[in-house]
A and B are shown apart, each in its own frame.
Chain A
Amino acid sequence: MMSGKRATRIRNPLLELVLARLREFFREPAAIFWTYGFPTVLALALGVAFSGGTVPKAIPIAVLSGLRQAERVQVLTQDPGLHVEAMTDQEAQRRFQGARIVLAVSGGDEARYQFDPTHPEAEAIRRRIDDRLQRAAGRLDSLVSSDDHIRSPGARYIDFLVPGLIGMNIMSSSLWGIGYALVEARKRKLLKRLAATPMKRSHFVGSFLIARMVFLVTEVATILAFALLVFDVRFQGSILAAALLSVTGAMAFAGLGLLASSRTTSTETVSGLMNLIMLPMFVLSGVFFSAAHFPDWMQVFIRPLPLTLLNDGLRAVINEGAGLADIAVPLGALAIGAVATLAAGLRWFRWT
Chain B
Amino acid sequence: MSMAIKVRGLVHKYGDVIAVNGIDIDVAEGQCFGLLGPNGAGKTTTVEILEGLLTPTSGEVSILGHSWKGDANAIRQRLGIALQETTLADRLTVREIVRLFRSFHDRGADPDAVIATAGLTDKNDAWVMKLSGGQKQRLAIACALVGDPDLLFLDEPTTGLDPQARRDLWEVVGDVVRRGRTCLLTTHYMEEAERLCHRVAIMDKGRIIAEGTPAELIGRLGGSQVLEFGSAPGMGADALNGLPGVREARHVLDRWRLTVDAAHEAVPALLERLKEHGNELTALSTHQASLDDVFVSLTGRTLRGEP
Contact = CB atoms under 8 A, between A and B. Distances in A.
A188 B293 CA distance: 35
Nearest to A28: B91
Interface in B86-140: 86-92, 96, 99-106, 108-114, 116-117, 127
Contact of B113 (A2, A11, A190, A196): A2
Given A13-B103, A197-B101, A198-B73, A24 B91 contact: yes
Nearest to A191: B86
A89 B96 CA distance: 77
A198 B112 contact: no
A198 B52 CA distance: 11
Nearest to A9: B99
Contacts of A28: 91
B76 A196 contact: yes
Residue of A193, A199, A352 contacting most chain B CB atoms (<10 Å): A193
A293 interface: no
A23 B105 contact: no
Interface in A1-50: 1-3, 5, 7-8, 10-13, 15-17, 19-20, 23-24, 27-28
Nearest to B114: A1
A193 B52 CA distance: 11
A189 B73 contact: no
B79 A196 contact: yes
Interface string B62-79: 000000000001001101
Contacts of A17: 100
Contact of A23 (B88, B91, B112, B143): B91
A1 B110 contact: yes
A8 B99 CA distance: 9
A178 to B, nearest CB: 16
Contacts, number: 92
Nearest to B95: A8
A328 interface: no
A196 B87 contact: no
Contacts of A352: 53
13 contacts: A2-B113, A7-B110, A8-B102, A8-B110, A13-B103, A28-B91, A189-B85, A190-B86, A190-B87, A193-B83, A196-B81, A197-B104, A198-B73
B194 to A, nearest CB: 26
Interface of B: 51-53, 73, 76-77, 79, 81, 83, 85-92, 96, 99-106, 108-114, 116-117, 127, 143, 147
Interface in A103-135: none
B81 to A, nearest CB: 5
A198 B86 contact: no
A57 interface: no
B113 A1 contact: yes
Nearest to A187: B87
Cβ-closest 9 pairs across A and B: A1-B113, A27-B91, A198-B76, A13-B103, A188-B87, A16-B103, A3-B113, A199-B104, A7-B110
Nearest to A189: B86
A189 B112 contact: no
Contacts of A192: 53, 83, 86
B112 A8 contact: yes
Interface in A231-289: none
A333 to B, nearest CB: 36
B87 A3 contact: no
A244 B83 CA distance: 42
Interface string A168-206: 000000000000000000001110110111110000000
Contacts of A196: 51-53, 76, 79, 81, 83
Contacts of A15: 103
A15 B100 CA distance: 9
B104 A198 contact: yes
Nearest to A13: B103
Question: Which of A5, A19, A24, A196 has the most chain B CB atoms inside 10 A of its CB?
Answer: A196
A24 B89 CA distance: 8
Contacts of A199: 104
Nearest to B72: A198
Contacts of A20: 89, 92, 96, 100
A35 to B, nearest CB: 15
Contacts of A2: 113
A193 B86 contact: yes
Given A190-B86, A190-B87, A198 B77 contact: yes
A12 B110 CA distance: 15
A205 to B, nearest CB: 15
B258 to A, nearest CB: 43
Contacts of B83: 189, 192-193, 196
Contacts of B99: 8, 10-11, 16
Contacts of A195: 53
Given A196-B81, A352-B53, A1 B88 contact: no
A188 B86 CA distance: 6
Nearest to B75: A198
Contacts of A197: 76, 81, 101, 104-105, 147
Contacts of B79: 196
B53 to A, nearest CB: 6
A70 B109 CA distance: 95
Contacts of A190: 86-89
Contacts of B127: 27
A243 to B, nearest CB: 29
Contact of B105 (A7, A11, A19, A198): A198
Given A1-B116, A24-B89, 7 more contacts: A1-B110, A3-B110, A10-B99, A23-B96, A24-B91, A27-B91, A193-B81
Nearest to B54: A352
A24 B111 CA distance: 20
